[in-house]
Amino acid sequence: MIRVFLLAVASVFVLMSCEKSSAEIEAEVRELWVQNLQKEHVTGVDVLEVSLVQKSDSLYTGVLKTKEPEGTFLYNVEVTNAGDQLSYEVIGDGIPADGRNNHEPDDQPAESDSLHQ
């Protein structure tokens, strides 16, 4: 009986040690991002930080921070870890870290409001 218990504990320990930590997944996402930049021949972009939060057994969400020629940007990422397969998806566009609005100005003139007529 003790032998079965020890074998069960050892099996659980081995299975748990095979799981990647958040830091390992963050490092892998950083490396995948850099590889994709190289594949697309994008230069001048450095990954500053990857910060993830585990949402479920295989799903992580978080932020990837980059330094680009136009400034520092934050990208929302969703990461799926399925065993030895890791994939990520960028959700939306990069957001300037300094809070400036990088969207094109609207072509329409601003409407006057009733308080400033």
Q: Looking at residue 84, what is its pLDDT?
A: 82
Q: Is residue 83 part of a domain?
A: yes
Residue 81 is assigned to a structural domain of this protein: yes
pTM: 0.66
Q: What CATH number is given to the structural domain containing 34?
A: 3.10.450
pLDDT at residue number 45: 93
- Model confidence pLDDT, tens digit, residues 88-111: 999 988 889 877 665 555 555 555
Domain count across the chain: 1
> In the structure encoding, which two tokens stand for residue 20, read together?
């990647």
Could you report the per-residue pLDDT of 42-75, keeping only the tens digit for each? 999 999 999 999 999 899 999 999 999 999 999 9
Domain that holds residue 30: 19-101
Is 2 part of a structural domain of the chain?
A: no
- Amino acid identity of residue 46, one-letter, is D
Mean pLDDT of 17-37: 86
Pairwise CA distance, residues 107 & 117, whole Å: 22
* Residue 24 belongs to some domain of the structure: yes
Domain membership flag for residue 41: yes
**1 in any annotated domain:** no
Partnered with residue 53 across adjacent β-strands are 61
For 25, counting Cβ atoms within 10 Å of its Cβ (0-12 exposed, 13-18 middle, 19+ buried), the class is: buried
